[in-house]
């Protein structure tokens, strides 16, 4: 999927949300890396659930080192003893999640290559059939593996914290408040989310 140009994005946000348009001008072009290793993106998203970015990066690094320079695959994860996954820093629950994810890739319950023909909600329903994969994890997959431009992860803490700061809110916005803002961004909710993340951390967001 081709990403929209800065001109197209700015024209859209100038008309719909002047605050976000200012952020876009300040931070520069929209860059969304696409990781086609679908299994790896989902593993990283599971690792990142409910922990800090720094902790997630550390555990992900140790997890990937278990595969001695190769990428994690469903077959390799299924063959790893749970003890090794725990030693990499994964909680007992997350070990179960990643094991179930690999099993569902292997048995065909998850078929990412069909997802180009499915809408966001169909994909979210498929992925949330995996033990431990909730809506947020599925949304990260939509953004970073499929580069869908219309994803608004209303439960994402980084997004909510960034919106609170950008729009001078007294408290973290509720999911409904995030949705109301996201309506102004349609059909570029992912773009608004990405720039909001970058106001909190200027590093390029990637999975």
Per-residue pLDDT, 112 = 84
Are residues 140 and 196 part of one domain?
no
State the residue range of the domain holding 118: 38-144
In a domain, 205, yes or no: no
**Average pLDDT estimate for 20-29:** 94
Whether residue 206 lies inside any domain: the answer is: no
Q: Cα torsion at 59, 81, 207, 116 (round to 10°)?
A: -170
Evaluate whether residue 1 is within a structural domain: no
What mean pLDDT, rounded, does the chain reach? 92
Handedness of CA 113, 117, 121, 122 (dihedral sign): negative
Active site residue 156: yes
CA distance 126 to 120: 10
pLDDT band at 104 (very low <50, low <70, confident <90, very high): very high
CATH number of domain containing 189: 1.10.1670.40
- What CATH number does the domain containing 83 carry? 1.10.340.30
Q: Please indicate, yes or no, whether residues 156 and 138 belong to a single structural domain of this protein.
A: no
How far apart CA 173 and CA 164 sit, in angstroms, is 6
Strands (E), 3-85: none
Domain count for the chain: 2
Q: Average pLDDT of 53-74?
A: 90
Which residue among 14, 17, 119, 156 is the active-site one? 156
Q: Specify whether 18 is located in the same domain as 80.
A: no
| pLDDT tens, residue by residue, 117-162 | 999 999 999 999 999 899 998 999 999 999 999 999 999 989 999 9
User: Please, are residues 62 and 89 in contact by the beta-carbon 8 Å criterion?
Assistant: yes
Q: Is 160 helix (H, G, I), strand (E, B) or coil?
A: helix
Do 102 and 124 contact (CB within 8 A), yes or no? no
* Torsion sign across C-alpha atoms 141, 142, 146, 152: negative
Long-range contacts from 70-74, C-beta under 8 angstroms, 24+ separation: 71/37, 71/40, 72/39, 72/40, 72/43, 73/39, 74/39, 74/101, 74/102, 74/103, 74/105, 74/106
How many Cβ atoms are within 10 Å of 111's Cβ, its own excluded? 12
Contact (Cβ atoms closer than 8 angstroms) between residue 23 and residue 114: no
């Amino acid at each position: 999927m081709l990403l929209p140009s800065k001109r197209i994005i700015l024209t859209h946000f100038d008309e719909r949300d002047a605050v976000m348009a200012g952020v876009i001008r300040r931070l520069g072009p929209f860059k969304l890396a696409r990781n086609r290793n679908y299994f790896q993106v989902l593993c990283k998203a599971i690792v990142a659930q409910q922990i800090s970015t720094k902790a997630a990066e550390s555990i992900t690094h140790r997890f990937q080192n278990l595969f001695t320079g190769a990428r994690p695959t469903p077959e390799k994860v299924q063959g790893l003893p749970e003890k090794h996954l725990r030693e990499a820093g994964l909680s007992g629950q997350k070990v179960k999640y990643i094991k179930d994810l690999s099993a569902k890739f292997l048995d065909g319950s998850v078929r990412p290559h069909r997802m180009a023909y499915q809408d966001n909600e169909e994909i979210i329903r498929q992925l949330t059939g995996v033990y431990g994969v909730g809506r947020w994890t599925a949304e990260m997959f939509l953004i970073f593996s499929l580069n869908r431009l219309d994803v608004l992860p209303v439960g994402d803490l980084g997004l909510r914290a960034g919106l609170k700061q950008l729009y001078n809110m007294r408290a973290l916005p509720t999911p409904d408040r995030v949705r109301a803002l996201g309506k102004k961004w349609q059909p570029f909710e992912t773009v608004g989310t990405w720039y909001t993340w970058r106001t909190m951390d200027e590093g390029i967001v990637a999975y």
